[in-house]
Amino acid sequence: MDGLLYERKNGFDGISAKDKSEIFDFCAEYSHAITVAKTEREFSDMSVSLLEKAGFVELSCKNQLKPGDRVYSVNRGKGIVAFVIGGEPIENGCNIVGAHIDSPRLDLKPNPLYEDGGMAYFKTHYYGGIRKYQWLSIPLSLHGVVVKRDGTQITVSIGEDKNDPVFCIADLLPHLAQLQAEKKLSAAFEGEKLNVIVGNIPCEDADKDKLKYGVMKLLNEKYGICEADFITSELELVPAFPAKDLGLDRSMIAAYGQDDRVCAYTALRAVIDAKTPVKTAVCLLVDKEEIGSEGNTGMQSRFFENTLAKVCSLCKETYNDLVLRECLSHSSCLSADVGAAYDSNYAEVYEKNNACYVNGGLLLTKYTGARGKSAASDANAEFMAKICGMFDKAGVLWQCAELGKIDVGGGGTIACYVANLDIEVLDAGVPLQAMHSPYEVAGKFDIYMAYKGYNAFFNN
Ligand code: MN
Ligand code: MN
């Protein structure tokens, strides 16, 4: 009997040449975008320019909103929310796709610069869940802002241009690693040893700390900053290499920061392509997911609620708080975040029947969490059925999985914080291998299915 058993497939299996080239073209644009926007600030800036090109205007420029209007609002340079006002009244709710644009990385400490053993270094403090050894002996670039005490903001980017120098953390040579090799992995690599090489020419202007002085002098020449300005900066080290096609068949993309800019980019493209939808379409890109969605740029902040209140008030001739409350209660959300794709080299941590596969389609995760679904937002069967049915109708290939085997670990997304707002929410994103590494692997078919799925969700 047809359809009696649930079957999985590789999305490229039997694909037409036309569909394949559409997918590859879309992914080439994606690849470029994540190569030029490697931090939350850069991604937020890039989103503004893509949105403005597509006719979106800043929310503060509007004194009323009507169906078809396209507006956006930026949260402190590190997050953004874009709306396409729908045909139905706003209190009927919105369709929200929410992704995060921060990724694991190495931040500079407030007092980063020092010299030791004939070398100048930056001290770093890692951000998010990294496997420390993966960040050794790879080229790193420095991105971020320095804010002077008079308010001047200086944008820093070193290591991306082909003529730029890069930075790196030198790993220990195997010849002298015998003692380290006997340690447990968690003890073998220490956070305080993630010190980045920044220079080695002594500066004769100084009587002491000549290496440190030399580095500071170069930074002063280029950016006009002094050592104390590091204290009022946000500088991040990320892998300096670009996104590349992976595999002889070019069926995948290897790149830094695909968690979660693969979902952020596809969500952004989908909202740009949303034509006067029935319900208001919302693309919500947040910061700080990797450290628990904390802070005023994270999903736990009131930013989204406050911005939505503003939108509600501009949609109505008379507004009271109930409009916002009803809008929230009637809204639906795809929490667009990546999941762990099955990796046969580590088969022991996956449960094959409930794993997802690269190029197996858009990944739906009913619940995340750890142990007995602790800290999970468990999507309602009713909502899941609605979404699966909608994807089927739109020709979106999807798969459903858990993060890994029970009790081997766990994780979360913004879903639980969205759910706290009384919104229906389901995790829907792209499966990745080597998640949180400097070189994450995503399937091109899945990337395109994410775009197609979010698009169907908005235009439904
Ligand atoms: Mn994520
Ligand atoms: Mn993550």
From the CA of 435, the nearest ligand is 2
| HEC string for 226-288 | CHHHHHHEEEEEEECCCCEEECCCCCEEEECCHHHHHHHHHHHHHHHCCCCCCCEEEEEEECC
CB under 5 Å of ion ligand 1: residues:
259-260, 337
The CA 43 to ligand 1 mean position distance, Å, reads 15
The yes-or-no verdict on residue 1 having pLDDT over 90 is no
DSSP designation for 344? G
At residue 460, the pLDDT reads 78
Instruction: State the CB neighbour count (10 A cutoff) for residue 118.
Output: 8
The yes-or-no verdict on residue 260 having pLDDT over 90 is yes
At residue 222, the pLDDT reads 96
**How much of the chain, in percent, has pLDDT values that exceed 90?**
96
The CA 32 to ligand 1 mean position distance, Å, reads 20
176's CB contacts (< 8 A; 6+ apart) are none
At residue 2, the pLDDT reads 80
CA dist., res. 178 & res. 187, Å (int): 14
pLDDT tens string 312-322 = 999 999 999 99
pLDDT tens string 263-273 = 999 999 999 99
Angle between helices 303-315 and 321-329 (to 10 degrees): 110
3-state secondary structure (DSSP) of residue 83: strand
Q: Please tell me whether the overall predicted TM-score, pTM, comes out greater than 0.95 for this model.
A: yes
Task: Please give the domain boundaries of the chain with CATH numbers for all domains.
Answer: 17-103+256-458 (3.40.630.10), 105-239 (2.30.250.10)
pLDDT band at 376 (very low <50, low <70, confident <90, very high): confident
The CA 151 to ligand 1 mean position distance, Å, reads 32
The CA 264 to ligand 1 mean position distance, Å, reads 10
| Kind and range of the H or E run holding 333 | strand 332-335
The CA 339 to ligand 1 mean position distance, Å, reads 8
Mean pLDDT of the chain: 97
Distances (CA, A) of 403 to 101, 252, 364, 408: 20, 20, 11, 10
At residue 180, the pLDDT reads 97
The CA 39 to ligand 1 mean position distance, Å, reads 14
Contact 320, 94 (CB under 8 A): no
The CA 371 to ligand 1 mean position distance, Å, reads 19
